[in-house]
Amino acid sequence: MTYGYHSYGSSWGSSSSYCGSYSGYGSGYGGHGSSYGGSKGGWGGSKDYSWGGSKDYGWGGSDYCGSKGGYGGSKEYGWGGSKGGYGGSKDHSWGGSKDWGWGGSKGGCAPDDTPPSGGVEIGEEGASCHFTISSGGVTLIVTVTEMGDNALKFDIAVADDSARIGDLRGIFFNVDDSVEGDLFVYSGDDVTDSKFGHGSVNDLGNGVNVKGPGGGYDVGVEFGTSGIGKDDIRSTSFILANGSGTLSLADLANQDVAARLTSVGEEGGSREDSIKIVGETGDLDCDTFNNESSPVPFDDAGMVCAGETTTIDVLANDTDPGETDFGPEDNWGLTLTAVYDANDVPVNLVEGEWITLASGARVTLSGDQLVYDSAGAFDDLLVGTTTTDTFTYAVIDSDGAPGFADVTVTIGGNLNLVDTIGNADPALVTMDIDQVISSITGRLTNIVTLDFSGALDGLDGVYTHAYCVDRTTPANLLLTGAQVYDSTDPGSLPAGLVDKPDMLDEVNWVLNQDFESTYSLTDVQSAIWALIDDAGGVDVLPRQAGVQLSAGAQAIYTEALLHDGFVVDQHNPDADVKGMIFLPVDSAGEENGQAFIIGFDLESCEDYMM
């Protein structure tokens, strides 16, 4: 196989009796050489410019077929022209590396240096296939279509779902060693250069190279210009033809391929990187890539917090390379048809009807997308941890041919440790209470050290702003055990633990307001007692007619009454503190001190997943 621009040019010679000024078979200086070669040279001529003559110049000659040229000459000039032709010892031989071949420009009989394509006929579009190569967040999809039996059309595009984009500057690839003939670029609006050479092409100049990662290739094609000021090529096409042989998809199968992109970066962001992508074309079976071939769906990924739903556009990266009636704007004519259920059986998708997966999660159809609902299957997953769930879906194309791909969903935990504590089975903790005088306010502050065990030891620590639940029971300031209850479930609290459990919503609202930065701890404590304790808040001393609470405590209490039904919500930064009640108990489980309520800051899945 030879490489280079190829053209039949102007036959063996051009004008003036096929190039010769001294013509005739066996005549004068040249014999036959004038018809096929030119002056001072010929086939069996009497002087030394013949085919096999004593000097350097063989079958060939001056003017129309080139000076200093001949078949078998000892210098660099061969059959067909000045510094070019068949048999030259340098790089301008028949199909040489500098683009000039049998009858080509700068050698042979072509009258100018126009890259040749005349004489080659390109057929109709036939079988088609594609391959992808990826690196650095950029994915290229290359669709290759047979154009008759001697040409391939290449359609190259940066995938829509690539994390980054880039300016496509060049593509390099090999073809099968069995290809014989002359390869050349037949057409391509964005093509600015091309090179050919067996395993030797890796640099097209102007920075368009794949030196290093991919070695050398048979074909290199350059697109556009340097920088994105003049062009920014995200997709392009060209036709590669064989001037004197066949070229098919089979010749491209399982070959090395590389691409060069500059101005790489995120859409709308800085694009200062450049990358070289190296890969393989893969096993391209031409018989399966046609209008009746199966679609080619690609695996998808999604992300969701436990207990929530997410919509996944699985068709966005699916293709049907052989499809001619549809394109990416209409999902290549693909239709979502089924999802494999918990028994690994395909179940037809019907909009609004749920299919339960092996994990217990479920999937339904919404338009041409899939909705994934974790459906309580991962409710015990703690905040800060993740797991994955995978299922398979099926599509069909416009001809009814099927395709299959997997979806992997990453589920983030949404459960806080305090949410695992239930009032029917309260947690146990060792509690150490200190009452200290705040150096800032000069008022008494409760500081509680908690020591959980087992799975709850993530709650261990020192907590300030611990408030008494009632006024009449003395505080136990000794190291003691305690039972832990959830104040957001007041209906299940032990009887008598809180005088007014129906007012705990308002207390949780108070705990979420950071009143300690505005009011004294005594004001906050007094307001809490006024809300949930039969004894009420701290009396103002000296007593004043009609006045019980301090002005601060009264302001907190009055506003809290407006928040009946307040709901603690870990996803709401204004409501993500939950009050937990700690009841001191002795070794026999009997109450032995004042109960405390402490606010715990809840985390959410979004804190880790977004």
pLDDT tens, 441-478? Answer: 556 678 899 999 999 999 999 998 899 999 899 988 89
Q: What percent of the chain has pLDDT over 90?
A: 56
* 3-state SS assignment for residue 479: coil
Neighbours of 461 (CB within 10 A): 11
Neighbours of 398 (CB within 10 A): 16
Pairing status of strand 402-412 against strand 300-305: parallel
* Judgement on whether residues 531 and 439 belong to the same structural domain of the protein: yes
CATH of the domain at 346: 2.60.40
Give the pLDDT confidence score for residue 213 in this predicted structure: 65
In the predicted model, what is the mean pLDDT of residues 273-278? 92
* Judgement on whether residues 454 and 474 belong to the same structural domain of the protein: yes
Would 438 be classed as within a structural domain? yes
Kindly tell me if the per-residue pLDDT of 405 is higher than 50.
yes
Q: Which of 52-56, 154-158, 200-204, 242-246 has the lowest mean pLDDT?
A: 52-56
* Judgement on whether residues 190 and 316 belong to the same structural domain of the protein: no
Would 606 be classed as within a structural domain? no
Mean pLDDT of the chain: 79
* Judgement on whether residues 53 and 113 belong to the same structural domain of the protein: yes
* Judgement on whether residues 81 and 60 belong to the same structural domain of the protein: yes
Give the pLDDT confidence score for residue 328 in this predicted structure: 83
- In the chain, the N- to C-terminal Cα span, in Å, equals 55
What's the total number of domains in the chain? Answer: 4
Final residue before a domain boundary, out of 384, 412, 440 = 412
Q: Which of 224-238, 409-423, 492-506 has the lowest mean pLDDT?
A: 224-238
Q: Which domain holds residue 191?
A: 125-288
Tens of pLDDT, residues 54-74: 333 333 333 333 333 333 333
Q: Pick from 131, 322, 110, 123: which is nearest to 241 by CA?
A: 123
Q: Is the pTM of this model over 0.85?
A: no
> Who wins on pLDDT, 135 or 213?
135
In the predicted model, what is the mean pLDDT of residues 534-560? 85
In the predicted model, what is the mean pLDDT of residues 519-537? 94
Q: What percent of the chain has pLDDT over 70?
A: 75
H or E stretch covering 206 = none
Rg over alpha carbons for the chain, rounded to the nearest Å, is 41
* Judgement on whether residues 352 and 477 belong to the same structural domain of the protein: no
Kindly tell me if the per-residue pLDDT of 131 is higher than 70.
yes
Give the pLDDT confidence score for residue 563 in this predicted structure: 97
* Judgement on whether residues 156 and 96 belong to the same structural domain of the protein: no
* Judgement on whether residues 93 and 138 belong to the same structural domain of the protein: no
* 186-210 burial: b if 16+ Cβ within 10 Å, else e: bebebbbebbbbeeebbbbeeebbb
Would 609 be classed as within a structural domain? no
Give the pLDDT confidence score for residue 6 in this predicted structure: 34
Distances (CA, A) of 67 to 64, 71, 85, 342: 8, 12, 11, 80
Would 512 be classed as within a structural domain? yes
Distances (CA, A) of 228 to 231, 234, 277, 544: 5, 11, 19, 80
Final residue before a domain boundary, out of 288, 321, 349 = 288
Distance between CA atoms of 552 and 558, rounded to whole angstroms? 10
* Judgement on whether residues 76 and 196 belong to the same structural domain of the protein: no
* 3-state SS assignment for residue 34: helix
Would 559 be classed as within a structural domain? yes
Would 610 be classed as within a structural domain? no
* Judgement on whether residues 593 and 455 belong to the same structural domain of the protein: yes
Confidence of residue 101 (pLDDT cuts 50, 70, 90): very low
Question: Which two tokens mark 465?
Answer: 């702003």
* Judgement on whether residues 447 and 593 belong to the same structural domain of the protein: yes
Would 294 be classed as within a structural domain? no
Q: Are 505 and 563 in contact (CB under 8 A)?
A: yes
Kindly tell me if the per-residue pLDDT of 329 is higher than 90.
no
Confidence of residue 602 (pLDDT cuts 50, 70, 90): very high
Tens of pLDDT, residues 361-378: 999 999 999 999 999 999
Distance between CA atoms of 586 and 593, rounded to whole angstroms? 9
Give the pLDDT confidence score for residue 497 in this predicted structure: 96
Final residue before a domain boundary, out of 69, 89, 118 = 118
